[in-house]
Chains A and B, each alone.
Chain A
Amino acid sequence: METVTLQDYKTSEKSWWCPGCGDFGVLAALQKTLVKLGIPPHRVAIVAGIGCSGKMGNYINSYNIHVVHGRTLPSALGVKLANRDLLVIAAGGDGDGFAIGMNHFVHAVRRNIGVKYIVMDNHIYGLTKGQNSPTSDHGQKVKAAPFGNVESPVRPLSLALTAGATYVAQGFSSNQAQLARLIEGAIAHPGFAFVNVLSPCVTYNKINTYDFYKQMLHDLDEDPEYEPDSRGRAIAAVLEREELVTGLIYHDPGSVAYEDALPGFAEEPLAGRDIALEEADFLELLASYR
């Protein structure tokens, strides 16, 4: 293992987030985990969405691609297919993942792509200054919904579970040790690993605050009654507590990643391969059009 230090993962970029923003905790946990695992920064590609959360990549000295709003997961799949030796991490907000990008979320789950997906779920649109997001509570009042949110929230964990996710976890940005453990588990998991992080927006969300979570969250990792080995029990457990849980919620040890399931797909990275077509192959293909 190469020695990798925290310094290797830092960039010269000054942080843009509001002081106290939950995303600091997510960044720290991710950097710590990468260092702990000794993964050199050039072997990591972070695909970030648009939002406050999407700035994540600006602060990690890995390969980074900051895409268009909502398309984090398909871009991440592209990166993974091009170079399957990379650790590909997709990172974005609740709006990026469950509103404009919801379609891709369900399909990434269903395909079980070899991408680790970290959502900084602050139940609000931070970057656009405080509109309700798909995870905002019913009744939440914001400028764009002055009489309160009439919609019911998306439940990301149960959604992922019912769509067939093979690794589902939820962290809280203040609980660094647990979050780092969950990210580490995600990295070790073959296939799609979903880590939803409750990451408070201190500026625009006055409901889902640090104090709120400290009071409300139930830690399934510490629950002697709970085992993350049954999809059915996992769904029941998260629904029962309106998803106010943390820990490893479900894990399928038999998971096979999309890239491993694709017929004939190269075992070594496509990038860097000799891509020229043999003339004999070409002529054979051409002959089928006679």
Chain B
Amino acid sequence: MPKSLAWMIGGDQGEGIDATGDVFGRVLSRLGYCIYGYRHFSSRIKGGHTNFTVRIAADRVLAPQANVEVLVALTQETIDRNAHLLLPGAPLLADSQLKPVLPDGCEARLVEIPLTQIAREVGAAVVRNMVAVGGSAALFGLPLEAFEAYAREKFERKGETVALQNVEALRRGHAFIEELGLMGRFALPAPRPRERYLMTGNDSLALGALAAGCRIMAAYPITPATDIMENLAGLFPRFGGAVCQMEDELAAITLVIGANYAGARAMTATSGPGFSLMQEGIGLASMAEIPAVVVDTQRVGPSTGMPTKNEQSDLLAAVFGGHGEGQRIVIAPGTAVQAFADGFEAFNLADRYQCPVIVLSDLALAQWLQSVEALPPEGHAIDRGAIVAQEELDRLTGEFERYRLTEDGISPRALPGMPKGQFLATGVEHASSGKVSEAPQNRIAQMEKRSRKLDPLRARPGAIETSHTDDAEVVIVCFGSIVGAVDEAVELLRQDGVRAGRVQVRQLWPMPDVPLAAALRGAGKVLVAEQNATGEMRQLMRIAGLEDDRYRSLLHFDGTLLSPQRVVAAVQELSVKEGV
């Protein structure tokens, strides 16, 4: 039995492909399966090919599958582009209305199904895709009741008729496949039902931020970050907060800085182009020691790049972007669970270290659906960092020293509204009082203070996460969403007798050099895998002294999701060429 099965639906953009994929994935999730749902799409709104794949497994999968077991085609283009993903004999469900033809040499089994016609008979052309879902359920031998129940729940608010039409469409599609004798053509492994949620990294990150007490979100729309803004716009009014859709990212970041300065927890979320615009503001937060949480859901750059494709190429911009030497913290979640944790922890880090915290997400994490088992709000406590007590301000005889030189570099802040705590927060170099100072000794003291405060982070627990490193002859180092592909590759390699391990770098700056060195000490080879062309993480590791003749790079930058097979091949190549 294969580890997982994959189902794909394809058609033109604007034909409800995503919504259909969502229904199929969600019902399977409720049936107890782990889901990874990913899309191929372009920047067009209507027209242009799009497809949605639902990968189904008993245990967690977070990477694309090389082939698909079932393809549902709503257009001939879908067939032409994707039929090669089907193994010989695998069913290709195509709307008969298309008069579909298989590409030359394709050995898939073409199953014509009158999707449009059935939908018309049911009374609503829009339920066409549900006919396909019903047929797909039959192919996998899945209980139709679960789909019916979901359709009733989902379409209830649109009225009885709509709900019934959807249910009828499911039934008719199911019956059609059953009559062809294809019922249960693919047996799924037994599910492991438990409380599970199907969400994207954007979904869970927004929830994490809300749970951390973020109540102000300012942003300018950009793919693939916009869902964070849209999710919070729906949630904040209930909790007294506000989402501000700003005129640009310059406004978004500086609003966030103003709000954090005045004591709220505020965030922004953007992608590459907006992130570039935010750099000056991020520098202000570094200099004036104001907390600020910035989410960068990376996509292919530079410039407009490939806005709907995956890449991890903003890393160096996150760490070193902007002028001057502005201190910041950069963390990178790779799964929806981690996105929740980072969406929460980013605010604690920002308040504790009084600096910008950049959460480096990426398109695949941001947008693709994955199964999540219980997001733990426990284990996360709100920490507002050092805020001066009012009693202390009351006792002051002189002025409040906002940027007092302390041993750990962290100086308690006063929040506007606190009597006797007034100070100047400025992007100009300043003395401990906050007043502008260009004195050389002061410059050195304040610069060192701002740098020193981040030092302990190099050893922060959780800054790296390891798996199978203890006996590993080759360790794959990665960050972000590709951890799913890397983990699957490790599993495949181990089945093949290659002792592979994985290190996921969760905090990219300050580089956790000590735990990283320890985790990599025993490795014969270190493969640094990243979705960019210049090996940005490897460059950072080199700066942190993590480079020797064991290190190699796997660079994947064609915009597609990194597959486990590509990682396996890279490791095998190492072993063949160099003998692990």
Contacts and interface: CB of A to CB of B under 8 A. Distances in A.
Interface string B400-427: 0000000000000001111111111111
Given A67-B427, A270-B241, A285 B265 contact: no
Given A78-B218, A79-B262, A264 B240 contact: yes
A12 B433 CA distance: 11
Nearest to B261: A65
A285 B235 contact: yes
B282 to A, nearest CB: 10
B361 to A, nearest CB: 18
Contact of A79 (B215, B247, B261, B288): B261
Contacts of B77: none
Interface in A201-226: none
A133 B311 CA distance: 41
Contact of A275 (B213, B284, B399): B213
Contact of A43 (B199, B258, B283, B417): B417
Interface stretch (A56-64, A166-174, A178-186): A56-64
Interface string A18-47: 000000000000000000000011110101
Interface string A64-89: 11111011011111111111011000
Interface in B239-276: 239-242, 244, 246-248, 250-252, 254-266
A1 interface: no
A63 B251 CA distance: 21
B377 interface: yes
Contacts of B203: 289
B3 interface: no
A251 B544 CA distance: 60
B250 A71 contact: yes
B529 interface: no
Contact of B420 (A42, A73, A272): A42
Contacts of A76: 258
A105 B212 CA distance: 32
Contact of A263 (B237, B288, B419): B237
B435 interface: yes
Contacts of A73: 251
A47 B258 contact: yes
Contact of B237 (A47, A265, A290): A265
Contact of B211 (A45, A262, A273, A277): A277
A79 B266 CA distance: 11
A276 interface: yes
B264 A82 contact: yes
B417 A68 contact: no
A107 interface: yes
Contact of B262 (A78, A262, A285): A78
B489 interface: no
A76 to B, nearest CB: 6
Contact of A71 (B215, B235, B251, B418): B251
Nearest to B417: A83
A81 B242 contact: yes
A128 B214 CA distance: 38
B237 A78 contact: no
Contact of A271 (B198, B211, B262, B281): B262
Contacts of A272: 263, 415, 417
Interface in B413-452: 415-428, 435-436
B339 interface: no
Contacts of B197: 286, 289-290
B382 A275 contact: yes
A24 B426 CA distance: 21
Given A45-B416, A75-B254, A271-B415, A82 B382 contact: no
B264 A270 contact: yes
Contacts of B377: 277, 279, 282
B191 to A, nearest CB: 15
A266 interface: yes
Contacts of B216: 78, 81-82, 270
B211 A282 contact: yes
Contact of B416 (A79, A104, A277): A79
A61 B259 CA distance: 20
Contact of A41 (B207, B375, B422): B422
Q: Assign chain A's interface to a size class.
A: 35 or more
B256 A78 contact: yes
A153 interface: no
A13 interface: yes
A67 B215 contact: no
B427 A68 contact: yes
B421 to A, nearest CB: 7
Nearest to B203: A289
Which one of A47, A76, A266 has the highest number of Cβ atoms from chain B below 10 Å of its Cβ?
Answer: A266
A265 B213 contact: no
A75 B255 contact: yes
B417 A74 contact: no
A68 B290 CA distance: 13
A197 B200 CA distance: 50
Contacts of B158: none
Interface in A252-290: 259, 262-266, 269-273, 275-277, 279, 281-282, 285-286, 289-290
A103 interface: yes
Contacts of A82: 216, 258-264, 266
Nearest to A270: B264
Nearest to B210: A277
Contacts of B237: 262-265
Nearest to A55: B436
B157 interface: no
A23 to B, nearest CB: 16
Interface string A85-121: 1100000000000000001101100000000000000
Given A64-B424, A270-B216, A265 B419 contact: no
Contacts of B262: 45, 63, 78-79, 82-83, 86, 271
A41 B400 CA distance: 14
Contact of A64 (B251, B264, B422): B422
A21 to B, nearest CB: 17
Given A42-B416, A58-B435, A277-B377, A270 B257 contact: no
B251 A74 contact: yes
Nearest to A265: B242
B435 A13 contact: yes
Contacts of B427: 66-68
A65 B280 contact: no
B577 interface: no
A265 B75 CA distance: 47
A275 B263 CA distance: 11
23 contacts: A41-B422, A42-B421, A43-B417, A45-B416, A63-B262, A64-B426, A65-B258, A66-B424, A67-B258, A71-B281, A74-B218, A78-B258, A79-B259, A103-B251, A107-B251, A264-B237, A266-B240, A266-B241, A269-B263, A270-B216, A270-B263, A275-B265, A290-B29
Interface of B: 26, 29-30, 196-199, 203, 207, 210-213, 215-216, 218, 235-242, 244, 246-248, 250-252, 254-266, 280-281, 283-284, 288, 372, 375, 377, 382, 399, 415-428, 435-436
Interface of A: 11-13, 40-43, 45, 47, 57-58, 61-68, 70-71, 73-83, 85-86, 103-104, 106-107, 259, 262-266, 269-273, 275-277, 279, 281-282, 285-286, 289-290
Interface pairs A-B: 5 shortest CB-CB = A78-B258, A275-B213, A264-B237, A271-B263, A266-B240
Given A12-B435, A61-B422, A271-B416, 11 more contacts: A13-B435, A58-B436, A63-B417, A68-B427, A83-B415, A264-B238, A266-B215, A266-B240, A272-B417, A275-B213, A277-B377
